[in-house]
A and B are shown apart, each in its own frame.
Chain A
Amino acid sequence: DVKVTQSSRYLVKRTGEKVFLECVQDMDHENMFWYRQDPGLGLRLIYFSYDVKMKEKGDIPEGYSVSREKKERFSLILESASTNQTSMYLCASMKGALGGNTIYFGEGSWLTVV
């Protein structure tokens, strides 16, 4: 079974703090994604990566950056957390091309910024 692990499940951070959300997958997938999920807005793509050191902006990249130094690990960084970044963050991974393969999600990281 594919496993996508988000190490931090619940975090509470202060406004202005730097936040790292880590995601690791164990199936040698090329593609990894970060989404956030908010009530009434569904899942929205923040960034995705199709290879080591490669990244692409999604629909809502503002206020976020990402890092993919190793194939199995994709990190989401909030340089200076703000209250409007309080959300549930989902990491996902996928092998090969979208549409021909399914996407697997981690368990989610609940971030509260106070």
Chain B
Amino acid sequence: GAGVSQTPSNKVTEKGKYVELRCDPISGHTALYWYRQSLGQGPEFLIYFQGTGAADDSGLPNDRFFAVRPEGSVSTLKIQRTERGDSAVYLCASSSVGGEQFFGPGTRLTVL
């Protein structure tokens, strides 16, 4: 079956702009996770959804970052007033109850 998909695969924007990154999880997976991977580092947790609600958003770095999952499937990560330090690969993962996380290919965000 289809895996986790993320769009766009690459996003280049200018400092101060707003961006939206989309994640389509594996069908039937109730849990959805966002991570951020900077160059030379492992992925770092941002936010975790159980169904439509954010079960844990403790990894969001500041209030410029926000994520939604209105129907319990697709999720959108939103970044306001982007900064150069936001440049990274944003990874999405989904899992079934008690299952391992399956990752998408990521969105590479570059803030100029």
> Is chain B a partner of chain A in the same complex?
no
Residues of A within 8 A of B (CB): none
